[in-house]
Structure 1
Amino acid sequence: MGTVRNILEAKGHAVYAIRPDNTVYEGIQMLVDRNVGALTVVDENDHCLGIFSERDYARRVILKGRASKDTLISEIMTADPYTVTVESSIEDCMVKMTDKHIRHLPVVNDQNQLIGIISIGDVVKYIINDQKHIISNLELYINGSHG
């Protein structure tokens, strides 16, 4: 199977990030504007500090009765998230996401700088497309249409 690099080549490296000193309100607005479920929290050098997700908002703001405009991202983000590199295998990502019950994995370089993000949807889409390709090749082989 493939690597995270394959997913990023297909979907691109665009990633939406926020700073830890932004308010939760600003984070929610960015989630809505970008139509995404999570943002990566980075410092001024783009080092990955955490993840801010809809789940964080629901569990740590709404259910706690906190005010979005008075709460900082740093107060409710998931700090020190699990990360992957471009060389990480798709299987490893799926295992990590399943075992840890997470939906997003920041992709970082050797200096822990953010270079992308993958979601469980990205991983599933890659696996489905990979399986379709394998099935197509097997059908060609069985039908004698291989070169």
Structure 2
Amino acid sequence: MKTIAQILAEKTKPLTTVSPDDTVHYALVLMRERDIGAVMVVEQGKLIGVFTERDCLHKVSSLCLNPKEVLVREVMSTKVRYVTTAMGVSQCLALMTERFFRHLPVLDDQKNILGIVSIGDLVKARLSDQDFIIEQMERYITS
């Protein structure tokens, strides 16, 4: 079973953060350029929120707000759930399913940001684990 630490180590995209005082437009440009669905909002080195595609849809577009004028702090999700590297893939998937999240920040014990995992990262890890188990079972059966 892969750990959250291993999943983070395999990620090739750089960690993307924005300031709460950046515009939504700036955050969206970064997200488009890096082909990601969420950015962490950081102030003075600490995580204070997450801004996602869903935030843009529900809090900006549907209200006809101008992304070039609205600040990230006005529309970001502030009740941030996070995980640690000690948590398992199943725990993270359960949290995402229960709370309808697609992205979870990963923090250490001092609340320093280590990275972010997406539901895609976790599903990929789960499928990889299952493929390995199936392969081992097939070898056992045929030997």
The TM-score with structure 1 as length reference comes to: 0.92
What residue in structure 1 maps to residue 61 of structure 2? 62
What residue in structure 2 maps to residue 24 of structure 1? 24
In the TM superposition, what is the alpha-carbon distance from 1:7 to its structure 2 partner? 1.0
Instruction: Say whether 1:73 aligns with 2:42.
Output: no
Q: Which runs of 5+ in 1 are unaligned?
A: none
Alpha-carbon contact 1:13-1:116 (below 8 Å) kept = no
State the alpha-carbon separation in 2 of the partners of residues 108 and 96 from structure 1.
15
Aligned AA (1:9): A
State the alpha-carbon separation in 2 of the partners of residues 91 and 63 from structure 1.
34
Percent identical residues: 36
Once the two structures are overlaid, the 10-residue window that deviates more, 8-17 or 20-29, is 8-17
Instruction: Say whether 1:109 aligns with 2:108.
Output: yes
State the alpha-carbon separation in 1 of the partners of residues 28 and 138 from structure 2.
47
How many positions carry a matched residue from both structures? 143
State the alpha-carbon separation in 1 of the partners of residues 59 and 119 from structure 2.
22
Alpha-carbon contact 1:84-1:105 (below 8 Å) kept = yes
What residue in structure 1 maps to residue 52 of structure 2? 53
In the TM superposition, what is the alpha-carbon distance from 1:13 to its structure 2 partner? 7.7
Aligned AA (1:126): A
Distance 1:38-1:114 versus aligned 2 partners, 3 A rule: same
In the TM superposition, what is the alpha-carbon distance from 1:33 to its structure 2 partner? 1.0
Aligned AA (1:106): P
State the alpha-carbon separation in 2 of the partners of residues 13 and 26 from structure 1.
18
The TM-score with structure 2 as length reference comes to: 0.95
Distance 1:121-1:7 versus aligned 2 partners, 3 A rule: same
Q: Which runs of 5+ in 2 are unaligned?
A: none
Alpha-carbon contact 1:48-1:108 (below 8 Å) kept = no
Instruction: Say whether 1:42 aligns with 2:35.
Output: no
Once the two structures are overlaid, the 10-residue window that deviates more, 6-15 or 53-62, is 6-15
State the alpha-carbon separation in 1 of the partners of residues 14 and 5 from structure 2.
13
Distance 1:58-1:120 versus aligned 2 partners, 3 A rule: same
Instruction: Say whether 1:126 aligns with 2:118.
Output: no
